[in-house]
Chains A and B, each alone.
Chain A
Amino acid sequence: MPLNSIVCIKQVPHPEHFSKISLDPVTGSIRRAGIPSVLNPLDKNAIEEALRIREKFSGKVTAITMGPPQARDVLEEAYAIGVDEGVLLCDLTLAGADSLATAYTLAKGIERVGKYDLILCGNESIDGATQQVGPQLAELLGIPHVTHVVEVHWLNEGEALVKREIEYGYLKVKVRMPAVMTVMKNINTCRLPSVLDIMGAVGKEIQSWGCCDIEGEKECVGLPGSPTRVVGIVHLESKRKREMLKGSEEEMAQMAVKRLREYGVI
């Protein structure tokens, strides 16, 4: 029996440029113009897991993302890694979504994709890092979820025994499909697409659906569908000494050790 999976992916700012990101002082939204974007790292592990499941059971892997038109880039990357289909949920009305509105939009998009047995997500994105979309998506689709997944042992196509991490240990969880699983980095090692794979992915068909295409209620998506609001930004005054050491590497190192000694921390 084939096992069809859907992988939710996200385009995020490149971690090297995190400190250059600013927030719009009025709307509180992220200003990321000119900052390079990448596929969220844990989403690669989610794609990899879906491909391994396809190798085991056969079936189709669909990657879905919500974002601006340039989020096509991460779908192209997903094609290069090996997914069968890519779906972009893109509409001005979807902007400003918090985790609940995002989960709602993805749920509507996934309902339009159709039959699925498993939904995979990265456990968290490196930008928002809320870890909230996976469980909320499961709730809105009315199916169970397991987060922090590090190992999946398939009992059959309809049921898996999953190892999910907790602080200093793990839980063994039995889960019936359809379900949402959000995966951790150590679940697998991602394959690297070859140059041919990357070239082959360029120009592959990406379905782009707006709010109407997925029958999304206007009051449930984007900013109107988001119960949380950014209401302000507070600049914190640094209480640190902020002493910049001068001189050669050797002089700086000597001074640093001297200071640590004076502060009584070494």
Chain B
Amino acid sequence: MTQQGEVWIFAEQRDGRLMSVSLELLNKGKELADQLSTRLVTVLLGDQIDDLAQQIIDYGAHKVYGLENKNLRLYQSEAYARLIAELIDEHRPELFLLGATMVGMDLAPRVAAKVKTGLTAHCSDLYLEEMEGQKKLIAAVPGWGGNFVVKIACPQATPQMATVRSGVFEKPEKKPGRKGEIVKIAAQIMIEDERVETVEMVESHPVGLKLEDAEIVVGGGWGFQSVSGFHLAEELAEALGGVTAGSRPAVDAGWIKEDRMIGSSGKTIAPKLFVSAGASGAMHFTTGFSKAKVIVAIDQNPNAPIFEAADIGLVGDLGKILPRFIQELKREKNEI
């Protein structure tokens, strides 16, 4: 009888702090490990990692592989990928999940190519399904038009790998003093690893409201057609007391900054109110705000799939309908 491979999570640390998405993955990972009757294991790289390793145990991992070296304090793409791939080759876990951060998205594909396995990017859900008598990971990713998701599996190779954005799963409960196994490994850096070297990390957490924390968000899409048109989205956000965001096409057009992008390759948010304006409703976009309490959609095409994903729909020309909407909001405010 072959032993069931473990469920592995990459625990990403920056400057000695665990990224919240890694903790969220511990929650989902625990559920998957229980269903596979196996253990939940994390891989942590850094310098002086004892405290972090214990925190990970407190959040529910059975075991932590802690790869330590002072040169691993910052993310080093070659060394991280090689060390993780070596550990995978030694233990062959069944699943390996990483947060779809701008570090995780750099690391995961390189590791997958090294160990020759499949990787699914920024999934909106993960679950197990029986395939040819074995429980296999189904990674759900947003489809195109309409309201559907595509199920992707990696039926032959292991580990089955996936990346998940922050905000998709919930953080598990922390139980201080939980018991688990911490395996510390003194990691070696090779000469080839030094072909690329991160020399400095500069973090600048923004002052003011982060998109993820905003209660009201107006998301603009391709329908604005110009940067001056997009200005109406800003005005609407202001009238609502919220902030603006955009779809991938709006970001690519340069109307709004990349860190304000909503969707499967942008941010996942759960505001009280989300107003989509000028976006047709490709699921790549709608998946980013599907957890909002109330969704309003405004678009000129009455058949746009965005209206399927909204509580309130307004069909019309953005240039005509938005000024009216803004005017009504202002009038309403003044009457109180």
Contact = CB atoms under 8 A, between A and B. Distances in A.
B251 A185 contact: yes
A242 B121 contact: no
B222 A135 contact: no
Contacts of A166: 14, 101-103, 201, 203
Given A233-B143, A249-B320, A240 B110 contact: no
Interface string A11-24: 00001101111110
Interface in B57-75: 74-75
B247 to A, nearest CB: 8
Interface in B191-245: 195-206, 216, 222, 240-241
Given A15-B222, A138-B110, A230-B152, A179 B304 contact: no
B83 to A, nearest CB: 14
A258 B157 CA distance: 54
Contacts of A126: 248-249, 252
B266 to A, nearest CB: 9
Interface string A173-184: 111100100001
A48 to B, nearest CB: 14
B314 interface: yes
Contact of A242 (B241, B264, B308): B308
A235 B251 contact: no
A134 B201 CA distance: 22
B109 interface: yes
B259 to A, nearest CB: 8
A256 B280 contact: no
B158 to A, nearest CB: 10
Contacts of B97: none
Nearest to A235: B148
B138 interface: yes
A23 B201 contact: no
A33 interface: no
A19 B305 contact: yes
A139 B117 CA distance: 13
B110 A228 contact: no
Question: Taking chain A's interface residues, is the majority helix, strand, or loop, or is none over half, making it mixed?
Answer: mixed
Given A132-B121, A166-B101, A228 B152 contact: yes
A237 B152 CA distance: 20
Interface in B168-197: 195-197
A242 B310 contact: yes
Contacts of A256: 296, 312, 314, 325, 328
Nearest to A238: B308
A100 B112 contact: yes
B46 to A, nearest CB: 15
Contacts of B321: 249, 252-253
Contact of A173 (B198, B282, B295, B320): B198
B211 to A, nearest CB: 11
Contact of A266 (B14, B105, B147, B273): B273
Nearest to A142: B192
B204 A169 contact: yes
Contacts of B280: 16, 18-19
B213 to A, nearest CB: 13
B145 interface: yes
Interface in B119-156: 119-122, 131, 138, 140, 143-156
24 contacts: A19-B146, A19-B282, A23-B143, A42-B252, A126-B249, A130-B121, A132-B108, A139-B113, A165-B102, A168-B204, A171-B201, A172-B199, A173-B77, A173-B197, A231-B138, A232-B150, A233-B148, A233-B149, A234-B149, A237-B147, A256-B325, A256-B328, A265-B293, A265-B294
Given A228-B152, A233-B151, 16 more contacts: A16-B222, A18-B145, A19-B144, A98-B118, A129-B284, A136-B109, A139-B109, A165-B102, A165-B258, A166-B103, A173-B197, A227-B156, A245-B313, A256-B312, A260-B294, A266-B216
Interface of A: 15-16, 18-23, 28, 30, 41-42, 98-100, 103, 124, 126, 128-136, 138-140, 143-148, 161, 164-176, 179, 184-186, 226-238, 240-245, 249-250, 252-254, 256-257, 259-261, 263, 265-266
